[in-house]
Structure 1
Amino acid sequence: MNAMQCLEKQGLWADYIAYSKLIKCCISNRAVEEGKLVHKHLLSNGHEPKLFVLSMLLNMYVKFNLLDEAQKLFDEMSERNVVSWTTMISAYSNAKISHKALEFLILMHREGVAPNMYTFSAVLRACDGLLSLRQLHCSIFKYGLESDVFVRSALIDVYARWGELGHALAVFDEFMTGDLVVWNSIIGSFAQNSNGDEALRLFKRMKRAGFRAEQATLTSTLRAVTTLALLELGRQVHVHVLKFDQDLILNNALLDMYCKCGSLADAHGIFSQMRERDVITWSTMIAGLAQNGFSREALALFEKMKLYGPRPNYITVVGVLFACSHGGFLEEGWYYFRSMKKLFGIDPGREHYGCMIDLLGRAGKLEDAVSLLHEMNCEPDAVTWRTLLGACSVHKNADIASYAAKQILKLEPDDVGTYILLSNVYETSQRWKDALDLRKTMRDKGIRKEPGCSWIEVNKKIHTFTFRDMSHPEIDEITGELNKLILKLRGVGYVPDTNFVLKDVEGEQKEDTLQYHSEKLAIVFGLMSLPKESIIRIRKNLRICGDCHHFAKLVTETEKRVIVIRDHTASSKSTHQGFELSAAVRAGFPNLSSTANFCLNCSSFI
């Protein structure tokens, strides 16, 4: 810099290659003040450097996140090309100042500068709605860039972000895809939008087309497998992951997949073998243990993390509170909740409050749960209120249930689950008029309960069962075995819990309705089709009812089988609601102590 100052005093300038290297050096060393000196020197005495040098200065300010300085320099430039325009568009897009990015594209058009593939890739990220996205899509056609790899990838990502998966797939299918970047975008789009079936179909299609899966592809594919809880398919994807050995992101995805699929032995094996572990690794394993009923082990691992691992973050504490909630550890939960700010510098968020409300609800302290809910430093969402409503359903508190349900319906007026839970509470409390009024409201609004659906993987094939659907090719054998099994379970104390039937019918009809719940059919099919040593793993679209949970518990005891049922709340976007519901007697996971699984549905140990 001293040499540069000497040059400035003498009115001399170096060649522009030297300046470009100097600017690159400032960027790589985050030398902000030195970069400003270079800028000042280049413009001293009315000197105007070459456009490519000014563009490098512009890029330097953007890299330093000094957007005001970048804008000032941009405004002073007498000549601007596609690079300088794209630099500014990208800067505003990355800074989430969408209106400025879109405004710059319009100004670029007016100045007669044609955008290129990098311009559109940048501005697509700034789309603030479907209207602007469709307008940009038309502009892409106008400039003949619709087949460009980067533009197609960005288009797919943005359509998926706005939930337009059909349009994303149309963009993908429009041209022969010869680049892995586009494959990664389309597979990732479906996986991130919880459409695991389509993501896996595209992954298979990609493999048949001769493409080799890379880390990004496998991460998305594992996410799809996790959504569907397809353990055997997850193990097949694991084989591809082995090629990348100690990739941290992939190993974290594998760990999450095995935890969500209920295979703690595999998850523990992955965790133990990882040479590098970050906060995501530890948090995933802690949450996985808690989700599968090993709350004590989750808290023990958290203590190890505090000693040997990275500093816990927001998600880690959610997992810890989740473990306290599902283990019934009231004192420990209060301790971690009240001290998380002091111990870890983390302010309690909605998910932390949700876990505590769940913990208090399970303990029957519903008034305390309501008080804590009113103390929240943010507005409770529907999931938080639903947690309280679920606890009211367990403890049969109709007054608080009614209050919680009203709050949910303000946020989600047509939430069928809320109507059903509240109706069940009213019936249990013998508030028949309230229950009838609620059902009338449902009829008037056209609100109907989604049919229960369960699926199970047998011999690499998915078998689906829907309530009262008799289309399965072996349905006669299944219902015959189910009748025999129910008769056997009655001998050990099983009595169908008709509180979970939302119908004005007589007792026997109610029992008949319960008998054909989809998870019961899937369980029986698993008993018929899988070897005795195999775990029966079932995925369900709705929350499992208490009667089916009790049924599954008795089956594990009488048939000496392990059953893992994953219901829809495992896919919830709210962390404190994302759990595995294991209706099983512990299978004997290696390296884990002998604890029973804890079921959120009845707040008791199995």
Structure 2
Amino acid sequence: MELFHTMPGRDVASWNSLINGFLAAGLLDKAKAAFDQMPEKSIKPDEVVFLALLTACTHAGQVDLGLNIFDSMRLDYQIDPSMKHYSLIVDLLGRAGRLNEALKFIEEMPINPDLVIWGTLFCACRAHKNVEIAEFAVTKLLELEPKHPGSYVFLSNAYAAVGRWEDAERVRSSMQDKGVGKGPGWSHVEVDGQVHRFVAGDNAHHKDANEIHQKLEEIMSGARKQGYMPGTEWVLHNIEEEEKEDALGSHSEKLALAFALIQTSPKTAPIRIVKNLRICGDCHSLMKYASIMSQREIIVRDIKRFHHFKDGTCSCGDYW
């Protein structure tokens, strides 16, 4: 913001950057305030500004505000929505559990929905455990991209989330039979100018592996004493609860956190972790407890947004 206000001139791209910055940090009020200032500065919003605002509404659960902004874009500014705008409205409705409305919105779109639209609907179905609409969405996904690995993984996870283990295994077997592969999740953390990479369950840091796992167990043990309960529903395999807890403990962002706490001095600069997937609910919960116990700010940049963990809370308000 300091840089923005010292610029000799600010065009629509400058405002877009400012609003997107607020968005990534979960600051919807500031993003909306910046948007409201644009007409005062004779800056006409473009489609990119509306993408930012709709994304912010999606991440904040502001459904009515998001729908109003979508209507304003079309009616007040005569901007035709792109596939990305439509996808965000599906996400907005889906995250709020309004799945039938989201499906109706897709069916009434003036353009044919793409892979992202159906994938967005599917993710919402998984979160709200609506297998019926999930199966329909996957059918559409596979029509568009028969070998898209996410379609198979999503459907398998949806079945697992409601305990339909045989169906989940059937989908995974079909995935293997068709030679469809899935890339691993990873997390990066920088310590002393060097970037360290972790994947789920790995022991790449052989000399530090035992110490990392001991530190992680220390973190989890301390968190349990403060009320943390491992979210075993995030391990979508038909295994015993104790084994599920072990699987949760090997997530890449947890390993990166433990390593950073070992390698850096207490109460120093924030720990910054970058992850290539969306952070799971269990890791999100543990990070909040870890921020209290370590008295450190922990920042996780997942595929969607920044999560700033400090004093037991997250900037996303637990809605992401």
TM-score by length of 2: 0.91
Does structure 2 retain, via aligned residues, the 8 Å contact 1:453–1:519? yes
* Match of residue 597, structure 1, among 304, 312, 315: 315
Is 1:482 the counterpart of 2:216? The answer is yes
Residue 309 of structure 2: SS of its match in structure 1? coil
Structure 1 position 374, deviation (Å) = 1.5
Match of 1:562 in 2: 297
In the superposition, relative to structure 1, how do residues 331 and 503 fare at CA in structure 2: closer, same or farther (>3 Å)? closer
Higher RCO structure (Cα 8 Å, ≥6 apart)? 2
Match of 2:282 in 1: 547
Which string of whole-angstrom CA distances, capped at 9 and with x for unpartnered residues, describes residues 131-185 of structure 1? xxxxxxxxxxxxxxxxxxxxxxxxxxxxxxxxxxxxxxxxxxxxxxxxxxxxxxx
Identity of aligned residues (%): 40
Structure 1 position 583, deviation (Å) = 5.1
Which string of whole-angstrom CA distances, capped at 9 and with x for unpartnered residues, describes residues 289-311 of structure 1? 11211111111111012221521
Is 1:425 the counterpart of 2:158? The answer is yes
Which string of whole-angstrom CA distances, capped at 9 and with x for unpartnered residues, describes residues 390-418 of structure 1? 11122111111111122222223233333
Does structure 1 retain, via aligned residues, the 8 Å contact 2:288–2:314? no
Is 1:582 the counterpart of 2:315? The answer is no
Instruction: Provide the rounded CA distance (Å) in 1 between the counterparts of 2:178 and 2:231.
Output: 28
Deviates more, 1:513-522 or 1:535-544: 535-544
**Higher CA-based Rg:** 1
Match of 1:24 in 2: none
Does structure 2 retain, via aligned residues, the 8 Å contact 1:402–1:422? yes
Deviates more, 1:501-510 or 1:461-470: 501-510
**Aligned length in residues:** 318
Match of 1:384 in 2: 117
In the superposition, relative to structure 1, how do residues 547 and 309 fare at CA in structure 2: closer, same or farther (>3 Å)? farther
Structure 1 position 326, deviation (Å) = 1.3
Instruction: Provide the rounded CA distance (Å) in 2 between the counterparts of 1:493 and 1:411.
Output: 45
Structure 1 position 586, deviation (Å) = 8.3
Match of 2:269 in 1: 534
Residue 141 of structure 2: SS of its match in structure 1? helix
- The residue type paired with residue 582 of structure 1 is H
Is 1:370 the counterpart of 2:88? The answer is no
Does structure 1 retain, via aligned residues, the 8 Å contact 2:58–2:66? yes
Does structure 1 retain, via aligned residues, the 8 Å contact 2:185–2:277? yes
Structure 1 position 596, deviation (Å) = 5.9
* Match of residue 40, structure 2, among 302, 307, 325: 307
Instruction: Provide the rounded CA distance (Å) in 2 between the counterparts of 1:405 and 1:341.
Output: 30
- The residue type paired with residue 39 of structure 2 is K
In the superposition, relative to structure 1, how do residues 382 and 583 fare at CA in structure 2: closer, same or farther (>3 Å)? farther
- The residue type paired with residue 470 of structure 1 is N
Does structure 2 retain, via aligned residues, the 8 Å contact 1:324–1:332? yes
In the superposition, relative to structure 1, how do residues 596 and 479 fare at CA in structure 2: closer, same or farther (>3 Å)? closer
- The residue type paired with residue 34 of structure 2 is L
In the superposition, relative to structure 1, how do residues 344 and 389 fare at CA in structure 2: closer, same or farther (>3 Å)? same
Structure 1 position 556, deviation (Å) = 2.2
Does structure 2 retain, via aligned residues, the 8 Å contact 1:540–1:566? yes
State how 1:412-491 maps to structure 2 within 5 Å. 412-472=145-205, 473-491=207-225
Match of 1:32 in 2: none
Which string of whole-angstrom CA distances, capped at 9 and with x for unpartnered residues, describes residues 421-451 of structure 1? 3222212223333222212212212334322
Structure 1 position 498, deviation (Å) = 2.5
Instruction: Provide the rounded CA distance (Å) in 1 between the counterparts of 2:132 and 2:161.
Output: 12
In the superposition, relative to structure 1, how do residues 413 and 545 fare at CA in structure 2: closer, same or farther (>3 Å)? farther
Which string of whole-angstrom CA distances, capped at 9 and with x for unpartnered residues, describes residues 517-549 of structure 1? 111010112222334241211112233222222
Instruction: Provide the rounded CA distance (Å) in 2 between the counterparts of 1:551 and 1:366.
Output: 29
Name the Cα RMSD after superposition: 2.2
Structure 1 position 356, deviation (Å) = 1.1
Instruction: Provide the rounded CA distance (Å) in 1 between the counterparts of 2:148 and 2:232.
Output: 22
Residue 8 of structure 2: SS of its match in structure 1? coil
* Match of residue 498, structure 1, among 218, 223, 232: 232
Which string of whole-angstrom CA distances, capped at 9 and with x for unpartnered residues, describes residues 57-86 of structure 1? xxxxxxxxxxxxxxxxxxxxxxxxxxxxxx
Structure 1 unaligned regions, length at least 5: 1-267, 570-578, 588-594
In the superposition, relative to structure 1, how do residues 447 and 366 fare at CA in structure 2: closer, same or farther (>3 Å)? same
Instruction: Provide the rounded CA distance (Å) in 1 between the counterparts of 2:120 and 2:180.
Output: 21
Which structure shows the bigger proportion of residues in strand conformation? 2
Structure 2 unaligned regions, length at least 5: none
Match of 1:136 in 2: none
- The residue type paired with residue 546 of structure 1 is G
